Chain A
Amino acid sequence: GTAKMASAYLTHQQKVLRLYKKSLRHLESWCIFRDKYRFYACMLRARFDENKDEKDMVKATMMLKSGEEEFWSNQHPQPYIFPDSPGGTSYERYECYKVPEWVLDHWHPSEKSMYPDYFSKREQWKKLRAQSWDKEVAQLVAETPAAGPRTEALPPARKEGDLPPLWWQYVTRPRERPT
């Protein structure tokens, strides 16, 4: 089927679902014990399901607005945030260990000799990168619309034998958990 491209405006469905999810998360922050949480979560789901077949968009938008206001007044001041999510306790904790790959060029030969396989192939990869760089840039220039790129997603390689644009940044990215 045809996929819709995301724009800056949210659809009504997206807004309702976002409200539902954040209400559930804040409810989870309030109801610590799972069985009590499950009960109140089912009640909340029933409240949402009651109005799910509303056809009048004005009325639906007014209901959404009152729902957001109810969420705001009932939210938890310290909602539960997963440790690796933004605002969590171990978010960005390992950023200081994510060293960029050009540092590898500055290693001492004694250190480089500890990984002979990698460093023997590294020069070839760098030559390949230099060769394909102009083609990548040309592809990006050709494919980006005049007003600027619409999404952050990079296009795949179009021609046979080409490499996808900015492949070097992807291939040499640091691990999510460096240690």
Chain B
Amino acid sequence: MYLTPLTMTSSLIFIFLLLLYPVLTTLSPHPQSPDWATAKVKTAVKLAFFISLLPLFLFLNEGAEVVTTTWSWMNTHTFDINISFKFDFYSIIFTPIALYVTWSILEFASWYMHADPYMNRFFKYLLVFLIAMIVLVTANNLFQLFIGWEGVGIMSFLLIGWWYGRADANTAALQAVLYNRVGDIGLILAMAWIAMNINSWEMQQMFSAATTFDLTLPLLGLIVAATGKSAQFGLHPWLPSAMEGPTPVSALLHSSTMVVAGIFLLIRLSPLMEHNQVALTTCLCLGALTTLFTATCALTQNDIKKIVAFSTSSQLGLMMVTIGLNQPQLAFLHICTHAFFKAMLFLCSGSIIHSLNDEQDIRKMGGMHHLTPFTSSCLTIGSLALTGTPFLAGFFSKDAIIEALNNSYLNAWALVLTLLATSFTAVYSLRVVYFVSMGHPRFNSLSPINENNPAVINPIKRLAWGSIVAGLLITSNILPLKTPIMTMPPLLKLAAILVTIIGLLTALELASLTNKQFKATPNLPTHHFSNMLGFFPTVTHRLTPKLNLILGQTIAGQMVDQTWMEKVGPKAIVTLNTPLIAATNDIQRGMIKTYLSLFFFTMALAMFSLLY
């Protein structure tokens, strides 16, 4: 159908304009109407979602992908930077999902933030973030991707520090920016190497010209970038701290969209990584370490948002493992399914937190199943999808990943860590459900808890539908690019579900032990390690600044003051000249008669030599 390219390009450009229009209306000097947020922003995103379904269906029907170069921005004789959009398999599927999740979150935020005097500004920030994210996802060159990358980083800073009167929120926002910046070092390194050696930042040129090079250095740079943005081990503490922001921010940025940007970068540039075993092994091991470490930290946390944050970090590690297995499409599938159930988990947590008057500690929740049955049911559905319950959304991606891992002849250590993390997922998910929904309430009945507001229930309902059917819908309509291994021993096939069931049974046993409370203060070293997040923030957030300050002090004190000033510079002149002065002084000590006789003697000598 010859109209296809026109339809695709027009609808995608129209989506950008639709999302930009509310932001541009805020530039006018007249104040916005009080319902600008719901009337303009939410409708824009909802409309953009329905329009984005058109390219999606065209792609599913015909396999149509579009690359549009719209503007030659900075072009020299040797290097071109253009504005160009790539609407391929990845961006065509991700854009509707991101818009759907954002639509639900905006509707939820209109309830959660309704008491906030600056709600319009909040929605504007979320919209600017969404635009930056879509720019990142549809970028056809690294420069445009970098614009989106930095954009989402800045909006993350502004949104985490939304309640800027709170010291912890400012610290967390700064932490996010700094850790992301460290990751950016890797991205800029990779961009510089590619610009120097391949002489182009366009995706098509890079993939075709890079086959002759040894790409280890830029790929390691990209992995560092993904470590920073997607909170892999080493640069991960910012993600749990980012829970200082309001719950809609946590749901949108720090679970579904922004944190997957690093993984998305690696997926986009996967043709470069396919043949480089060093990079793939680094991804595999880093991802396995991340997924186990953060799942261990999640086991003993008591703040419901932190548990979900560590869960996100663990799933991001799993996505990194998938990339290490050279299966970028499976990683992308997991990104899509994960967005649904993780955003739903955050929205359910936000609904519960708001109902309990800002109580976030699961030790003071309980019995929510009787009070908010729909919300706690959706919490359970989300947790089941997260653990990979057969035929829910998470199953199609997670089970495929674990099967691929089992059948690969790669690192067995990474396999063991990932399976262990999968069972831990079941443990902390059950822990959340047990302490929040089951049992008796452990809080005072101060506010009338209800689920009467459609602005809360409808988004959660939509995301619940997504969590149930998304996996099935996506896998039944998309052809896999790599052939999955179909035949394997039953133990390998059932490994994921067995490990999850073991985790579930262990968690039930631990829950019943908690209920019996044999010891008043069960202070175990393993609990302490997990609760203090492996002591990673405790050590790095104090050691690194301390070493830097000591370095500064050594430079200022030892180098500048002592060395340059005293031993080499001005005071050295004193130390050098004083002995000379003393020696000369001793000679010139007022011995007049000696001087006179010497004078006459030399005078006589001179006369003699002149005469003769």
Q: Is there an interface contact between A92 and B521, defined as CB atoms closer than 8 Å?
A: no
Consensus secondary structure, chain B interface: loop
Q: Is there an interface contact between B358 and A94, defined as CB atoms closer than 8 Å?
A: no
Nearest chain A residue, comparing its CB with the CB of B353: A89
A40 to B518, CA, bound (A): 10
Q: Given A33-B517, A74-B523, A77-B531, does the pair A94, B163 have CB atoms closer than 8 Å? A: yes
Q: Is there an interface contact between B166 and A92, defined as CB atoms closer than 8 Å?
A: yes
A28-44 vs B: 1/0 string, CB under 8 Å? 11111110100110011
Contacts of A30 in B (CB 8 A): 520-523
Contacts of B117 in A (CB 8 A): 97, 179
Q: Is there an interface contact between A80 and B361, defined as CB atoms closer than 8 Å?
A: yes
Does any Cβ of B come within 8 Å of A122's Cβ?
A: no
Q: Is there an interface contact between B363 and A92, defined as CB atoms closer than 8 Å?
A: no
Q: Given A32-B442, A77-B532, does the pair A93, B517 have CB atoms closer than 8 Å? A: no
Which of A28, A40, A44, A93 sits near B165, CB closer than 8 Å? A93
Does any Cβ of A come within 8 Å of B214's Cβ?
A: no
State how many angstroms separate the Cβ of B368 from the closest Cβ of chain A. Answer: 15
Does any Cβ of B come within 8 Å of A16's Cβ?
A: no
Within 8 A of A (CB), among B277-328: 301-303
Q: Given A31-B517, A77-B528, A77-B531, does the pair A93, B522 have CB atoms closer than 8 Å? A: no
Q: Given A33-B439, A179-B116, does the pair A89, B360 have CB atoms closer than 8 Å? A: yes
State how many angstroms separate the Cβ of B507 from the closest Cβ of chain A. Answer: 15
- Please tell me the number of chain A residues within 8 Å of chain B, measured between CB atoms: 33
Q: Among B115, B164, B516, B520, which residue has the most Cβ atoms of chain A within 10 A? A: B520
Does any Cβ of B come within 8 Å of A52's Cβ?
A: no
Nearest chain B residue, comparing its CB with the CB of A70: B521
Contacts of A29 in B (CB 8 A): 302, 363
A90 to B531, CA, bound (A): 21
Contacts of A34 in B (CB 8 A): 440, 442
State how many angstroms separate the Cβ of B354 from the closest Cβ of chain A. Answer: 11
Contacts of A44 in B (CB 8 A): 520
Within 8 A of A (CB), among B139-198: 163-167, 169
Contacts of B361 in A (CB 8 A): 80
A94 to B363, CA, bound (A): 25
Does any Cβ of A come within 8 Å of B515's Cβ?
A: yes
Does any Cβ of B come within 8 Å of A14's Cβ?
A: no
Q: Among A27, A33, A34, which residue has the most Cβ atoms of chain B within 10 A? A: A33
Does any Cβ of A come within 8 Å of B25's Cβ?
A: no
A63-94 vs B: 1/0 string, CB under 8 Å? 00000000001101110100110000111111
Does any Cβ of B come within 8 Å of A18's Cβ?
A: no
Q: Is there an interface contact between A83 and B358, defined as CB atoms closer than 8 Å?
A: yes
Q: Is there an interface contact between A43 and B520, defined as CB atoms closer than 8 Å?
A: yes
Does any Cβ of A come within 8 Å of B566's Cβ?
A: no
B487-525 vs A: 1/0 string, CB under 8 Å? 000000000000000000000000000111100111100
Which of A40, A89, A93 sits near B520, CB closer than 8 Å? A40
A41 to B358, CA, bound (A): 27
Which of A76, A95, A179 sits near B521, CB closer than 8 Å? A76
A91 to B358, CA, bound (A): 10
Could you list some 30 contacts between A and B, CB below 8 A?
A26-B521, A32-B435, A32-B442, A32-B514, A33-B439, A33-B514, A34-B440, A36-B516, A36-B517, A40-B517, A73-B523, A76-B523, A78-B302, A80-B361, A80-B363, A80-B364, A83-B357, A83-B360, A89-B358, A91-B166, A92-B165, A92-B166, A93-B169, A95-B163, A95-B166, A96-B164, A96-B166, A97-B117, A98-B165, A179-B117
B residues in contact (CB < 8 Å) with A: 115-117, 163-167, 169, 301-303, 357-361, 363-364, 435, 439-440, 442, 514-517, 520-523, 527-528, 531-532
A residues in contact (CB < 8 Å) with B: 26-34, 36, 39-40, 43-44, 73-74, 76-78, 80, 83-84, 89-98, 179
Ranked nearest first, the 10 interchain pairs of A and B with the lowest CB-CB distance are A95-B165, A96-B165, A36-B517, A74-B521, A40-B520, A92-B166, A90-B358, A77-B531, A93-B163, A179-B115
Given contacts A30-B523, A77-B532, A96-B165, 11 further A-B contacts (CB under 8 A): A33-B517, A40-B517, A76-B521, A76-B523, A80-B364, A83-B360, A93-B163, A93-B166, A94-B163, A96-B166, A179-B117
